[in-house]
Amino acid sequence: MKPILGNSSIVHLDCSGCGKQYSHLELHTFCPDCQSPLLPAYDIKKVRQQVDRDQILTRPKGMWRWWEVLPVLDPANKVFLGEGDTPLLMLPNVNRELGMTNVYVKDESSNPTGSFKARGLSMAVSKAKELGIEKVIIPTAGNAGGAMAAYAARAGIQAHIFMPKDTPYANIEESRMAGAQVVLVDGLISDAAVMAGEKARAEGWFDLSTFKEPYRVEGKKTMGYELAEAFGWELPDVIIYPTGGGTGLVGMWKAFAEQEELGWLKNKKRPRMVSVQASGCAPVVKAFEAGAMFCDFWTNAHTLASGLRVPKSFADHIILKDIYESNGTAIAIDDQDILLAQKQLARLEGIFAAPEGAATYAALKQLFTSGWIQRDERVVLFNTGSGLKYLSVH
Ligand SMILES: *Cc1c(COP(=O)(O)O)cnc(C)c1O
Ligand SMILES: [Zn+2]
């Protein structure tokens, strides 16, 4: 029988700040010289010669179909719960309602643990397993903790989770259910991150914080491969993405660059990337409007969209660079408009989106009204999680 999976073509890790290279065969976090995220680099030339892009469609479903451009070396280390290959759905009723023609949703709520965090944590936990890690720790706004707990359980790795005490109940319970040790923090994810960082150093546990290890972004990157494939290897015109730590936005932009180098795209047209945040926590929007390359820390962050309650991403300079490069934009949405959009999406299309995902619909309405998006442009909204995870207990 022919092996289902080929080989990873990873060659090293690049520092996104100073360009210094690191070995992918050793355990790394972020660049100790300049405190920037490390991003995996691949032998794209080799993949271009050896891999037929259309053949990847015939492989078993899931994000691991893109094996050659993913970082795990030994297939035995892959921790798979069915993540990836989520539906790209046309939204006929939204289109009719707005007078548009080409609005889609990439519905990530069907991933294991009900959010797209599954992609990133599947990849990070798999790679941690490959590098011999036995204990992992994460500060989380909610869904990342639940996903890490699930993949760690599957991998036989011990999980420690620090989350704000107002994290949705489902996230707390799913983490505990999977055997993770959960610490509820009186504060924001930034406070949880400080505590988790101290604990990681003291105990020698491996920290899977957003962009503080190099591999979560590679799982999120697969959304960009699935989109290109679904659109027949042309990219959509606009991608509207709810941005907290920014792994999905950065990951997809990286995927598009790789695809161009692979020669897989029919033309060089890239999507305009739209970063959506909540008005109560909009550091990327503020920096974008000022034309800045870094974000200021957002004080008193508050929004019901817990995944967007990130006062400053560790990858802020990459997020901003990608938005500028794409001729994109950034937009803040009020919580009441998020709730309205959530109801409208459910009633129009039967999709009960997470508040973060619903925010992209609110953003679409504003950007179409202002003329930033044209009637016939192909627009993809990212519903990053299921609304079911945010129901409170009565
Ligand atoms: C984490 C999260 C986000 C933000 O994703 P980033 O990649 O960190 O920007 C958006 N929506 C949901 C449901 C999330 O859990
Ligand atoms: Zn560096």
Query: What are the residue ranges of CATH 3.40.50.1100 in the chain?
Result: 88-115+215-390, 117-207
Residue nearest atom 10 of ligand 1, based on CA coordinates = 307
| Alpha carbon of 52 to ligand 1 centroid (Å) | 32
Confirm or reject: Cβ of 37 under 6 Å from ligand 1: no
Mean pLDDT (the chain) is 96
Distance CA 255, CA 249 (A): 10
What CATH architecture is 88-115+215-390? 3-Layer(aba) Sandwich (3.40)
pLDDT band at 188 (very low <50, low <70, confident <90, very high): confident
Distance CA 105, CA 346 (A): 13
Show the tokens assigned to 366: 């504003």
Q: What value does the mean pLDDT take over residues 356-366?
A: 98
Give residue 323's pLDDT. Answer: 98
If one residue of 306, 356, 389 were mutated to test the ligand 1 pocket, choosing by the most ligand atoms within 8 A of its CB, it would be 356
Helices (H) and strands (E) in the chain, counts: 12, 13
E strand or H helix at 159: strand 158-164
- DSSP class of residue 210? T
If one residue of 115, 277, 309, 382 were mutated to test the ligand 1 pocket, choosing by the most ligand atoms within 8 A of its CB, it would be 115
If one residue of 323, 384, 386, 389 were mutated to test the ligand 1 pocket, choosing by the most ligand atoms within 8 A of its CB, it would be 384
Q: What value does the mean pLDDT take over residues 117-127?
A: 98
Give residue 393's pLDDT. Answer: 65
User: Strand order of the sheet with strand 272-278?
Assistant: 88-90, 103-107, 379-383, 238-242, 272-278, 329-333
Q: Which long-range contacts (CB under 8 A, 24 or more apart) does 59-65 make?
A: 59/4, 60/4, 61/85, 63/119, 63/122, 63/123, 63/219, 63/222, 63/226, 64/5
pLDDT band at 392 (very low <50, low <70, confident <90, very high): confident
Beta carbons within 10 angstroms of residue 35's beta carbon: 12
Q: What value does the mean pLDDT take over residues 6-32?
A: 95
CATH number among 3.65.10.10, 3.40.50.1100, 3.40.30.10, 3.30.43.10, domain 117-207 = 3.40.50.1100
> pLDDT per residue over 285-331, tens digit each?
999 999 999 999 999 999 999 999 999 999 999 999 999 999 999 99
User: Which position has the token pair 């990459």?
Assistant: 318
> pLDDT per residue over 145-159, tens digit each?
999 999 999 999 999
Q: Is the pLDDT of residue 12 over 70?
A: yes
Give residue 3's pLDDT. Answer: 42
| Global model pTM greater than 0.85 | yes
Q: Is the pLDDT of residue 345 over 80?
A: yes
| Alpha carbon of 30 to ligand 2 centroid (Å) | 8
Q: What value does the mean pLDDT take over residues 329-349?
A: 98
> pLDDT per residue over 49-104, tens digit each?
999 999 999 999 999 999 999 999 999 999 999 999 999 999 999 999 999 999 99
Q: Quick one: CA dihedral 123, 125, 131, 136, positive or negative? A: positive
Confirm or reject: Cβ of 242 under 6 Å from ligand 1: yes
User: Which position has the token pair 């491996």?
Assistant: 206
| Beta-bridge partners for 39 | 14
